[in-house]
Amino acid sequence: MFDFELFGWGILESLYMTLGSTAIAYLIGLPLGILLIVTEQPRDTANYTTKNWIFRIIHVVLGFITNVLRSIPFVILLVFMIPITRGIVGTATGSTAAIVPLVVGAAPYIARLVESSIKEVDKGVIEAARSMGASTGQIIWKVLLPEAKPSLLIGSAIAVTTIFGYTAMAGFVGGGGLGDIGIRYGFHRYQTDIMIVTLILSIIIVQILQEVGMRLAKINDKRIN
Amino acid sequence: MKPIIQINNLGKTFVSKSGDVKALDCINLEIFPGEIFGIIGLSGAGKSTLVRCINFLERPTSGTVQIDGLDLGSLSSNELNIARRNMGMIFQQFNLLMQRTALDNVCFPLELSGVSKRKARERAKELLEIVGLNDKLKAYPSQLSGGQKQRVAIARALATKPNILLCDEATSALDPTTTTATLDLLKKLNQEMRLTIIIITHEMSVVEKVCNRVAIIDDSNICEMGSVNDIFANPKSEAAKRLVFHKKEHDIPFTSKNCYRIIFDGRSSFEPVIANVVLECKAPINIMYADTRNIDGNAVGQMVIQLPDEELAAKRILHYLNNKKIPFEEVKNFV
Ligand SMILES: Nc1ncnc2c1ncn2[C@@H]1O[C@H](COP(=O)(O)OP(=O)(O)OP(=O)(O)O)[C@@H](O)[C@H]1O
Ligand SMILES: [Mg+2]
């Protein structure tokens, strides 16, 4: 019943899609999240300069795009993205092709996670850095990111497990992985045993990913001992 | 002497949906090199706003701030960042980087100004030694007490060798013993490095312990300014009186009329004034309240006395005080 080759490949494909798309999605989502923070302007427009207005427009536009992308159900995004994926990867099927819609779905989600992690950084600490003459870039690199690191790592644990869930859906469009196995054998051929194995494997993988992320966050947090 | 900080007609109005808040109105202030200058006022008076205007964390809506003759308002943001390295700042909540050790916190401003890692560490170690924390180099802020955190913050604020240190309620989160130790440290730094210190506080005792001069800020304005000695001995404005006398007079349980406050300058408190009054005027005096203290080596303070009901005797006593040039004033509604 337990087909090592079938499940072995399934696990590898799932992990490949999950970790690959998480990594690329962070390359887009992290700067996007930072940009959302940096361009945030005080609500009161009385003392706005041109720079304030430019930042505000960037903030609103980015926020809008992020929200729109986040509100598209992933299954629909998958189908919608097929021609674009074909344009980028050359094919719309297979694990590598699945990474394209996964990144598009995950990046805005990650941007919001990053934004909320950075917002947790104590305003007083930022103010202290400003009083020492820190530039905006120095505040981002030397204050915001290091101080938010534990929270960012917890966010990445949440992101990676959510994206793992998305990869199962990618199975629908022939992305491979455990989701694909579950659909092909469990759903179309009524092989309940394979369905159950897929389910258990998924639970174990999510648990491991979650646990690793949380441990990393804890080790990296110097606030509590 | 040329002032190190010169503030002219400074105003700051916060604009918000619920209406404008005038936090500061036409502030004029000169602070000289090597001074410990206190700014005291009740909550919401505008103290924090004022100190944040000194390093332009808050941009004033009107007026100018000059540091060493340099008008901060005329600087680009880059130049302003460089000017800020000449002004350290410490806070009520310490505001240390929680993910950095004490040593790395002190290195932080040096990294910002491009000092090499090795040099920064050397200097940071020196500074932590000065503030008495050489055994806590590797400790994270979460492992330090409030007083120790503030010491790290002081070391960090001094890392770039500033001439000015701004303290916003720096001792308000500390217990009395730690407060005294921290103030002693500030005084030591003031004397050894000729550091100009601006202390914001709502506690008179802080001003009394370390400041040379003090400005009392009330409702967005400086209502009184002068040497700590003078203001303690003889507060003129309502706000100053409230701060100097306020709490203590409430401690006194009974009501009475015919009460006078005698003010001691350094000289008269060493004379047996009250005994002399009683002997000379042959009239009894009721001492309601007395408080004298040592400020900068001078005894200053106040005493509230109740004169006898007999009018003639009371007049005699007041006449005697007048003759001896001992300042006094009637205290109405002394509760
Ligand atoms: N960013 C802001 N926006 C709007 N109003 C503000 C802002 N900062 C301060 N204020 C207002 O300005 C006034 C002065 O505030 P400030 O913080 O300077 O007082 P403070 O004397 O430091 O008081 P405390 O002793 O409580 O710290 C207050 O009425 C406050 O509500
Ligand atoms: Mg304040």
CATH number of the domain bearing residue B264: 3.30.70.260
Inter-residue long-range contacts of A211-220, CB under 8 Å, 24+ positions, other chains counted: A212/A157, A213/A153, A213/A154, A213/A156, A213/A157, A213/A158, A213/A160, A214/A154, A214/A157, A216/A153, A216/A157, A217/A150, A217/A151, A217/A153, A217/A154, A217/A157, A218/A150, A220/A149, A220/A150, A220/A153, A220/B99
Task: Tell me the residue range of the domain where B74 lies.
Answer: 5-240
Nearest by CB: B98 against A47, A130, A223: A223
B49 occurs within a structural domain: yes
Nearest by CB: A47 against B15, B98, B112: B15
In Å, how far is A40's CA from the nearest CA of chain B? 17
- The token duo for B271 is 């004379």
Query: What is the C-alpha to C-alpha distance for residues A66 and A56, in angstroms, rounded to an integer?
Result: 15
Q: Give yes or no for residue B301 having a pLDDT over 90.
A: no
Let me know: does A144 contact A114? Beta carbons within 8 Å: no
B89-105 pLDDT tens trace: 999 999 999 999 999 99
- Collect all residues of chain B within an 8 Å Cβ-Cβ radius of residue A134: 81, 112
Query: In angstroms, what CA-CA distances link A94 with A82, A85, A89, B135, B215?
Result: 12, 11, 10, 59, 74
Cα–Cα nearest to A132, from B10, B33, B155, B40: B155
CB contact under 8 A, B84 and A133: yes
A71-106 pLDDT tens trace: 999 989 988 999 999 999 888 888 899 999 999 999
Q: Give yes or no for residue A182 having a pLDDT over 60.
A: yes
Q: Give ipTM to 2 decimals.
A: 0.88
Let me know: does B9 contact B62? Beta carbons within 8 Å: yes
Identity at A185, one-letter amino acid code: Y
Residues B150 and B272 in one domain: no
Give me the phi and psi of B35, to 5 degrees please.
Answer: -80, 150
Let me know: does B93 contact B50? Beta carbons within 8 Å: no
Residues B128 and B267 in one domain: no
pLDDT at residue number B256: 64
Classify domain A4-219 at the CATH topology level.
MetI-like fold (1.10.3720)
Q: State the distance from the centre of ligand 2 to the C-alpha of B154, rounded, in angstroms.
A: 18
Residues B171 and B84 in one domain: yes
Q: Which of B178, B213, B240 is the last residue of a domain?
A: B240
Nearest by CB: B112 against A122, A138, A221: A138
Residues B138 and B211 in one domain: yes
Length of chain A: 225
Residues B172 and B82 in one domain: yes
Strands in B87-91's sheet, in edge-to-edge order, are B87-91, B164-168, B196-201, B36-40, B213-218, B221-227
Mean pLDDT of all residues in A121-130: 96
Q: Which ligand is nearest to the Cα of residue B24, counting in written order?
A: 1
- Collect all residues of chain B within an 8 Å Cβ-Cβ radius of residue A42: none
pLDDT at residue number A192: 87
Q: Give yes or no for residue B330 having a pLDDT over 90.
A: no
CB contact under 8 A, B112 and A224: no
- Collect all residues of chain A within an 8 Å Cβ-Cβ radius of residue B98: 122, 125, 147, 222-223
Residues B281 and B174 in one domain: no
Residues B311 and B207 in one domain: no
- The token duo for B299 is 């005894």
State the closest ligand 1 atom to the C-alpha of B45, by its place in the atom list counted from 1: 21
Beta-strand pair B196-201/B328-331? unpaired
Average pLDDT, chain B: 88
Residues whose CB falls within 8 Å of the CB of residue A217, separated by 6 or more in sequence, listed in order = A150, A151, A153, A154, A157
Q: Give yes or no for residue B335 having a pLDDT over 90.
A: no
Residues B269 and B147 in one domain: no
In Å, how far is A25's CA from the nearest CA of chain B? 26
Residues whose CB falls within 8 Å of the CB of residue B322, separated by 6 or more in sequence, listed in order = none
Residues B113 and B85 in one domain: yes
Residues B259 and B114 in one domain: no
- Structural domains of chain B, count: 2
Residues B71 and B159 in one domain: yes
What does pTM read for this prediction?
A: 0.82
Burial class (CB within 10 angstroms; exposed 0-12, middle 13-18, buried 19+) of A45: exposed
- Collect all residues of chain A within an 8 Å Cβ-Cβ radius of residue B84: 130-133
Q: Give yes or no for residue B320 having a pLDDT over 90.
A: no
B245 occurs within a structural domain: no
Tell me the best of B48, B219, B243 to mutate to test the pocket of ligand 1, counting ligand atoms within 8 Å of each CB and taking the most: B48
B106 occurs within a structural domain: yes
B194-240 pLDDT tens trace: 999 999 998 888 999 999 999 999 989 999 999 998 988 888 888 88
Disruptive mutation site among A120, A123, A132 for chain B (greatest number of B CBs within 10 Å): A132
> Closest residue (by CA) to atom 8 of ligand 1?
B49
In Å, how far is A110's CA from the nearest CA of chain B? 23
Angle (nearest 5°) at CA A92 between A87 and A96: 95
Query: What is the C-alpha to C-alpha distance for residues A17 and A170, in angstroms, rounded to an integer?
Result: 9
Mean pLDDT of all residues in A114-139: 96
pLDDT at residue number A223: 86
Residue B298 host element (H or E): strand B298-306
Mean pLDDT of all residues in B331-335: 66
How many interchain CB pairs under 8 A, A with B? 88
Q: Which of B191, B212, B240 is the last residue of a domain?
A: B240
Burial class (CB within 10 angstroms; exposed 0-12, middle 13-18, buried 19+) of B227: middle
Q: What percent of chain B has pLDDT over 70?
A: 92
Nearest by CB: B85 against A47, A132, A146: A132
Q: Give yes or no for residue B254 having a pLDDT over 50.
A: no
Using the Cβ of A51 and the Cβ atoms of chain B, whether some distance falls under 8 Å is answered with: no
Give me the phi and psi of B284, to 5 degrees please.
Answer: -75, 150
Cα–Cα nearest to B133, from B116, B145, B115: B145
Mean pLDDT of all residues in A53-72: 95
Cα–Cα nearest to B185, from B133, B260, B122: B133
- Collect all residues of chain B within an 8 Å Cβ-Cβ radius of residue A124: 91, 93, 95
Query: What is the C-alpha to C-alpha distance for residues B50 and B27, in angstroms, rounded to an integer?
Result: 9
B72 occurs within a structural domain: yes
Using the Cβ of A147 and the Cβ atoms of chain B, whether some distance falls under 8 Å is answered with: yes
- The token duo for A209 is 């990913």
- Collect all residues of chain B within an 8 Å Cβ-Cβ radius of residue A128: 89, 91, 95-96, 153
Let me know: does B141 contact B152? Beta carbons within 8 Å: yes
Let me know: does B31 contact B37? Beta carbons within 8 Å: yes
Residue B252 confidence class, pLDDT cut points 50, 70, 90: very low
Residues B220 and B272 in one domain: no
Give me the phi and psi of B25, to 5 degrees please.
Answer: -140, 110
Higher pLDDT, A46 or B104: B104
Query: What is the C-alpha to C-alpha distance for residues B26 and A13, in angstroms, rounded to an integer?
Result: 69
Query: What is the C-alpha to C-alpha distance for residues A184 and A19, in angstroms, rounded to an integer?
Result: 23
Using the Cβ of A88 and the Cβ atoms of chain B, whether some distance falls under 8 Å is answered with: no
Q: Which of B199, B218, B240 is the last residue of a domain?
A: B240
State the closest ligand 1 atom to the C-alpha of B202, by its place in the atom list counted from 1: 25
Q: Give yes or no for residue B255 having a pLDDT over 60.
A: no
CB contact under 8 A, B98 and A130: no
B247 occurs within a structural domain: no
Query: What is the C-alpha to C-alpha distance for residues B62 and B99, in angstroms, rounded to an integer?
Result: 38
Ligand 1 pocket list (CB less than 6 A): B 14, 16, 21, 23, 41, 43-49, 202
Query: In angstroms, what CA-CA distances link A29 with A20, A156, B143?
Result: 14, 11, 34
- The token duo for B294 is 């040592």
Q: Give yes or no for residue B265 having a pLDDT over 80.
A: no
Q: Give yes or no for residue B251 having a pLDDT over 50.
A: no
pLDDT at residue number A157: 95
